[in-house]
Amino acid sequence: MLNRRTIDFAAVKTYLPKTWVLLALLLLTASGNSAFAVGESATATAFTENCTEEVRQLTLEEIFSLRVREQIDSFYQKRVKNDHFNGCVMVAKDGKPIYSAAFGYGNLTFKDTLSIQSSIQLASVSKTFTSSAILLLAEQGFLSLDDSVQKFFPSFPYSGITIRLLLSHRTGLPDYTYWDKSITGISSYLTNDGLMNVLTTKKPQVRCKPDHMFIYCNTNYAVLASIIENVTGWTYKKFMHDIIFSPLGMSNTYVFSPEDGNCCTISYDSKGRVWKDCPADGVVGDKGIYSSVEDMLKWDNALRTGLVLNEESLNEAYKPRSLDRYSFAKDRTRNYGYGWRMTKQADKSYIIYHNGFWHGSNNVFARDLNNGFTIIVLGNKSNNANYWTQPVWNALGLMKNLENVAETEVQ
C-alpha cells in the first residue's frame, strides 16, 4: 500500500572536449602511482593503450574520478596506518560510486574481513529512516505532524508535544540513554514499550518546556518509533523491512534486537575490546538499524529520486527548524531539520547529514544535494577520527571545479 514506483538510476553521460581530455591526462600522470580502493583495478596504463580510441569514450566523471579516487584512498590508507581505522567507506557522485573500500574486521577474534556489504550499527544515522517513515505516513494520511503524542498514547503525561517537535528535537524530554535501574526499575533490556511506560508512570523531569529550544534527545525518536507501531499495527522492525528495506533492495539492512542473538559485526572500543551491551540496547528508532555502505548508497538514491518521499516532504525534512536565540541563532552555519543535521557551505546551500555513535560505531552519512556528492563512513571500532571527512570533500571539490571549467569550455 505504501510502496512507490521503481526508477532507472542510469545517468546521462557528458563528454569532454579535446582540450580538457589532455588536461585530465596531465593531472593523472602527475599524480604518481598509488594503491586504489579494494576491488578497484583501474591504472594509468588503461589510458596508454589505444589512447585515441579509449580517451574519446571516457566521460568527464570517469576521467576525474580516477584522480579523486586516488586522493581518497591515500587519505584512508594513512588513517589505517596512523589511527587504526576499522570500517567501510563509500563515496559517490549522483548515486554512482567513485570510491568504495573496506578496512579491518567485523569480528576481530575470527579475523572476519569487512566488505562493503558488511552490516554495521548505524547508531543515530538510524534517525534518517525513522523520520522518513513518519513523513511517509503523513503523506499517506495516517497521521499529521501536528498530532500530539496523546492522540496515540492518551496517558502520555507531557502536554504540548507534537510529532513535529519530536522530529526536530524541540520537546525538552529527558534522554532515556542516561536512565539507570533506579528509573527504569529493570536490569534487563529496556524496550520501546518499556520506555513509554517509564515516561507515563515515573514522569522523569523535562529539561525545558516544549518548543522552547533545540536539545538533541534520543527519547524523541524512540517515541516516534512507538507512534509508527501504534499507527500501522506493525512492529517498527517489520515496517522498516517491508516498506523500506526490502522494496529498495537493501538486503544487508535490518533492525536489530538483543533477543535476535549476536550481530554479524561486533562493536569494539578504541583498544579492540568488545563493547558490552546495556539495557538501552533494546530501544529502537533512535538507533538499532544495521546497514552496509552499499545499502546506504541505495538509501541515498531512493531519497534523491523521490522513491520514498515526495519533493514537498523532502524539502520539509531539510529545512532548518531551530533558529531561535536559545538554539542556532548565533551559529547560523548549523541546524537540524526532521531527522537531518545540516551545515551551510560558502554558496549558502546546506550539506545534509547525520552522524552516529553507539557502542563503538562512529558513522557519517553526508550528502551534498546540490552537487550530487555522498560520503558514507561506517566504523565498528570506536574512533572519533571517523567524523573527519574534510580531505574527502577537498578531493571532491577538485572534481566539482574541473567540471565547472569543462562546462564553461563547452559553452
380-399 pLDDT, tens digit per residue, is: 999 999 999 999 999 999 88
How confident is the model at residue 25, as a pLDDT? 37
Across the chain, mean pLDDT equals 86
Query: Hey, how many other C-beta atoms are within 10 angstroms of the C-beta on 332?
Result: 10
How confident is the model at residue 61, as a pLDDT? 59
Query: Hey, how many other C-beta atoms are within 10 angstroms of the C-beta on 38?
Result: 16
Query: Hey, how many other C-beta atoms are within 10 angstroms of the C-beta on 19?
Result: 11
Q: Is the pLDDT of residue 15 over 70?
A: no
How confident is the model at residue 60, as a pLDDT? 66
Q: Is the pLDDT of residue 410 over 50?
A: no
What SS3 class is residue 159? coil
The answer to whether the CB of 162 falls within 8 A of the CB of 203 is no
Q: Is the pLDDT of residue 51 over 60?
A: no
Tallying the residues shown for the chain, one arrives at 411
How confident is the model at residue 187, as a pLDDT? 84
The answer to whether the CB of 294 falls within 8 A of the CB of 328 is no
What is the distance in angstroms between the CA of the first residue and the CA of the last residue of the chain? Answer: 46
Among 184, 181, 183, which Cα is nearest to 194's? Answer: 184
What SS3 class is residue 272? coil
Nearby residues of 276 by Cβ (< 8 Å), 6 or more positions away: none
How confident is the model at residue 317, as a pLDDT? 98
How confident is the model at residue 373, as a pLDDT? 96
- What are the CB-based long-range contacts (under 8 Å, 24+) for 82-86? 83/383, 83/385, 84/381, 84/383, 85/379, 85/381, 85/383, 85/385, 85/386, 86/114, 86/268, 86/379, 86/380, 86/381, 86/383
- Residue 154: φ, ψ to 5°: -55, -30
The answer to whether the CB of 371 falls within 8 A of the CB of 91 is no
CA–CA–CA angle 310, 314, 315 (5° rounding): 115
Nearby residues of 371 by Cβ (< 8 Å), 6 or more positions away: 396, 400
pTM of the predicted structure, to 2 decimals: 0.85
Q: Is the pLDDT of residue 291 over 80?
A: yes
- pLDDT, one tens digit per residue, over 351-362 is 999 999 999 999
* Residue 101 β-bridge partners: 89
Q: What percent of the chain has pLDDT over 70?
A: 82
How confident is the model at residue 403, as a pLDDT? 59
Q: Hey, what domains does the chain have and what are their CATH numbers? A: 13-85+387-411 (no CATH), 86-382 (3.40.710.10)
- pLDDT, one tens digit per residue, over 128-171 is 999 999 999 999 999 999 999 999 999 999 999 999 999 999 99
DSSP line for 397-408: HHHHHHHHHHHH
Residue 219 grid coordinates? 527519547
In 294-349, which ranges are E strands?
Answer: 334-336, 341-344
How confident is the model at residue 330, as a pLDDT? 86
pLDDT category of residue 40 using cuts at 50, 70 and 90: very low
